[in-house]
Structure 1
Amino acid sequence: MEQKEDALSLSINSEKAMIDMGTEIECVRCGTRHLKSDVRLGEENNFYYYCSTCIQLGRVTSNQLLYFEECRAPVANKQEINLCWEGQLTQAQQTVSLKIKKAMFDKTKLLINAVTGAGKTEMLFSGIEHSLKHGARICIASPRVDVCLELYPRFSSVFPDIVISLLYGDQTVPYQYSPFVICTTHQLLRFYHAFDVLIIDEVDAFPLVNNSMLQYGINHCKKQQAAVIYLTATPGKKLLNTTKTGEIEEVILPSRYHGFPLPSPRLIWQWRWREVLLSHFNLSKVYTLLESEVKQNRRLLIFCPNILWMHRFEQVLMKYFPHKNISAVYSADSQRNAKVTNMRAGTIDWLLTTTILERGVTFSDIDVMVIGSNHDVYTEATLVQISGRVGRKATHPTGAVYFIHDGKTLAMMRCVKRIKKMNQLSGLGG
């Protein structure tokens, strides 16, 4: 559990880190139950149990206590809160912004089902400002570290008077208590009844979706009376079912803030793309397409179905396009953050990636290519999110999306159908 400064605390409480359930032992931090025989350590007369599920956050054992503090809420307006944002919301955004503000005040649940590039972050500003002024503690969590790394500087710039904590696995800066936390969903397991407002960005993304441990963290990190705001462009069936039963209110925003339609993917058939693009690349449709991209001086985000194939294709591209600055990134890449930063800065021309960059990152003036879009790694939601990387900036609201395939899949067709439906709802055609 987290530690807070003494000046803010009412009292320090503790509880056993693990609960004895007979033949099982339950971890209080992550809620996982284990057979005792699977997680027992130590000697016969001096043994204990540990949790293998959340061990990446530090080992929790049955002979330990978890400490937590009930924190006194700050007095409203005790600290100056300045929202330093000169932008202006569209009428549609303003409507959603007011819904968010009301949900935060009423401490209710709300799903913002908004297309990629709708400006979800900006629609949060007013509600967060109001909540901070009234002493609320706020957390924005996402399953993707790239999302957190993009959100942190944006919120830091618009709320310069507030200390914002950024928490993720590789973070080296020591944690300190703050009224505003941005973190990965794994880090929520470190908090207990801490937040008045919890915002889950990209709620349908891996590894959060269908992960019982992370769902446990969401339920336990917030106060019993708290607002929960879910943000996504691709809500799953389970989440949508909660809106049908009235458990969660849904707000749909089908248009992007700059008024341009979502880019509709162009499906390009390439016979046996796995082999052809590596061994006979110069004879492929992709080579011809990339030559056209070179003539137009277009930057590219190129999605590949797996790491091994991606690296082999990277070498092929570097051979045929030596004048281009080409790089590749994947989840365990030690240079991952640096490469994303360089792509954002425009110093990388073509960035190959796995699905780790399917959402939550914004690059200006790019086209997107999905190699092997018929591979089973690409779900409907993944393809929709990937398509949404194009045309996100008002200065560059358009771009091309290419699906390279050797056979159409249901996911591909549903992706195209969903994009056309949102464009129709926004009045921008199919």
Structure 2
Amino acid sequence: MQKSQVVHAMKEVCAWLEGRALLEEEVSWLFQSKLPGWEPENVLAFMEQQGSLEKYRGIEQLGEGEETIFSFFSSLRRWIGLAPPVRYRCRRCGATGTDIVLVSCARCGQDDCPYCRRCIGMGRSLGCTPYYTIPSFSSASKTVRPVLDARHILDQYPTLTTAQRAAAEAMLHFRREEEGADEFLVWAVCGAGKTEVMFPIVYEALACGGHVLWATPRRDVVLELAPRLAQAFPDSPLSVLYGASSEKWSRAPLVLATTHQALRFYQRFDLVIIDEVDAFPYHGDPVLPFAVRRARQLPGKTVYLTATPRDEHRKRLVKPHSDTDFLPHVKIPIRYHGHPLPVPGNCRASQLNDRLRQKRPIPELLSFLKQVAEREGQAFLFVASIARLPVLHHYIEQLAPEWRGKVETVHAADPDREIKVKAMREGSIRLLLTTTIMERGVTIGGVDVLVVQADASLFDEAALVQIAGRAGRSAACPDGMVLFLAEEITPDMKAAVRHIQEMNQLAGSEM
């Protein structure tokens, strides 16, 4: 092979590796899948010599303590308590403390090799495993400035409402600011059409040669968004990544993924969009924000999308604009069809749990089902746990027999979840009894909503606002019925109603 051919071939190999953060095993998978015939060791050694990648151990040692070159004597010193404490950190996910444990390792033969429990679902990160970070060799955010007129971009999306267009324009301005903030939050009510609001900024980033990551905590949202993004950007290859997806190594400039998949990227994306930033598991798991931040180019921009900002974001929204921690943002308080959000009713039902279990009449629940039946409608009925699903299912079949054969249950571990959601869309299922897995990311027009045992601790303000947002999504049926049923009316139930009322008032003042 001539030198020019070797150089060309190496560029092709590097193009598959750039912008990734991979364990040695993952590198081997990539080569087997996309680069058969190439020896990973030779390529990685060449790239390391060229300064194109950095090589680490999967688990690094922090601070004082014995070296991670293990021996009988170091193990003995730790066992009798003479060695200083050893602290470790996972290079891949950033986990420390009790997430790192010492194990007997078949790979290196040591009895005290550290490994990370936090990101085990993505493969074993070990103290003896090589870990590679390969930044992108080119960055649109560094080399390409926007040359498209903002009005021209917005005109590509004539169906945007006035509120949507204003938000999209604010984001275009945010992306173009070289010295401005690198984070932006879109606070949009459920059903505001926030997905479509993002299209102009994604269009511009792709048109400028950039890479875009659209990340969301839940697989259901990924599956919901995939056909919409493919239709919106037909000229841009789209990679869809989640735990069970067959494609892992696409070089597509537009990537739609669960937030866990960001662990395999490194400084790749010029624009990162975090959809449903307040949702579990992104909220409350420091690993996922760590992974998403590292996946972004420096410089680059991040946009957060949410209908229910968490406290850490709300506090930043009200800071002075001159404060370095101020979070630029825009609110979209009105749905795309212009109708107000359905306001939930808080309803107290005494001995609710006992009556469900004993199959005694609950007038409020039976009245809700009767109204749905009279409208020939559909409804989501939310419960706080999987164990409550069969209880509610049996209750409905016995006390409301007209619903027999039209009711199904669904939860996160249900292997038929996607089939049931499709059947709900098609109308063959009329009542879908569900855990909070359906609280966001699934849009079905014309449904009513009931939360059973809304006083459960799982149903905080954010969850209840999101659940209420399932109703009234279509212009043909914007006035869905929402009911929170509980033994006691909780502060979160009241806060959710107040949140929705305030957004409706804000929308009315802007019309």
Report the TM-score when normalising by structure 2.
0.77
User: More displaced, 372-381 or 34-43?
Assistant: 34-43
Question: Which of 19, 32, 48 is matched with 2:95 structurally?
Answer: 32
The match for 1:126 among 200, 204, 207 is 200
Kindly indicate whether residue 224 of structure 2 is the aligned counterpart of residue 183 of structure 1: no
Residue number in structure 1 paired with 2:127: 62
Question: Greater shift after overlay, 37-46 or 223-232?
Answer: 37-46
SS of residue paired to 1:321? helix
Q: Partner residue of 2:246?
A: 172
Amino acid at match of 1:134: C
- What SS does the aligned partner of 1:240 have? helix
Instruction: Tell me which amino acid in the other structure corresponds to 2:331.
Output: I
Q: 1:102 pairs with 164, 173, 192, which one?
A: 173
Which residue pairs with 2:115 in the alignment?
A: 50
CA distance in 2, matches of 1:49, 1:376: 36
Tell me the distance in 2 between the aligned counterparts of 1:394 and 1:323: 30
Amino acid at match of 2:488: G
Would you say the 8 A contact 2:377–2:447 is kept in 1? Answer: yes
Shift of residue 175 of structure 1?
Answer: 3.0
Deviations 1:21-68 (A, max 9, x none): 230221110001146983232389634321111000011111222233
Alignment of 1:354-369 (within 5 A): 354-369=435-450
SS in 2 for 1:71: coil
Given the alignment of the two structures, is residue 213 of structure 1 paired with residue 276 of structure 2, yes or no?
no
Gaps of 5+ in 2: 1-10, 19-46, 66-85, 146-152
Q: Displacement, 1:83? A: 11
> Where does residue 383 of structure 2 map in the other structure?
304
Q: How many residues align?
A: 422
Worse-matched range after superposition: 35-44 or 349-358: 35-44
Q: Is the alpha carbon distance of 1:45 and 1:403 closer, same or farther for their aligned partners in structure 2, counting shifts above 3 Å?
A: closer
One-letter code aligned to 1:360: G
Residue in 1 aligned with 2:55? Answer: 15
Residue identity in the other structure for 2:237: V
CA–CA separation in structure 1 for the residues paired with 2:99 and 2:482:
51
CA distance in 2, matches of 1:426, 1:37: 49
Change (3 A) 1:45 1:89: closer
Q: What is the RMSD of the two structures over their aligned residues, measured on CA atoms?
A: 2.6
1:287 equivalent in alignment to 2:358: no
1:6 pairs with 2:70: no
C-alpha offsets along residues 325-354 of structure 1, whole Å, 9 cap, x if unaligned?
Answer: 211111111111222222223221110111
- Listed as ranges, the gaps of 5+ residues in structure 1 are none
Q: Which amino acid aligns with 2:55?
A: E
- Residue from 365, 374, 379 that aligns with 2:460: 379
Q: CA deviation at 1:404?
A: 1.0
Give 3-state SS (helix, strand or coil) of 1:363's partner: coil
Mapping for residues 135-214 of structure 1, pairs under 5 Å: 135-214=209-288
Output the CA distance in 1 between the equivalents of 2:100 and 2:261: 28
| Counterpart in the other structure of 1:252 | 331
What is the Cα deviation at residue 309 of structure 1?
Answer: 1.2
Name the SS for the 1:60 alignment partner: coil
Contact 1:137 1:194 in 2 (8 A): yes
CA displacement at 1:278 relative to structure 2:
3.3
- In the alignment, is the contact (CA less than 8 A) between 1:266 and 1:402 conserved in 2? yes
Corresponding residue number in structure 2 for 1:278: 357
- Seen in structure 2, the aligned counterparts of structure 1 residues 330 and 35 have a Cα distance that, compared at 3 Å, is closer
Please, which moves more after superposition, 57-66 or 13-22? 13-22
Identity %: 33
SS of the aligned residue for 2:476 comes to coil
Contact 2:189 2:503 in 1 (8 A): yes
Aligned-partner Cα distance in 2 for 1:170–1:387? 30
- Tell me the equivalent position of 1:228: 302
Highest relative contact order (Cα 8 Å, sep 6+), 1 or 2? 1
Q: State the AA in 1 paired with 2:375.
A: Q
Instruction: Confirm or deny: 8 A CA contact 2:378 2:446 kept in the other structure.
Output: yes
Q: Aligned equivalents of 2:421 and 2:461: distance in 1? A: 24
Selected match of 1:336 from 404, 417, 430: 417
Q: CA deviation at 1:174?
A: 3.9
Structure 2 CA distance for partners of 1:27 and 1:288, relative to 1, 3 Å: same
- Cα distance 1:365–1:428, how it changes in 2: closer, same or farther (>3 A)? farther
The answer as to whether partners of 1:13 and 1:67 remain within 8 angstroms in 2 is yes
Q: Is the 8 A contact 1:324 1:350 kept in 2?
A: no
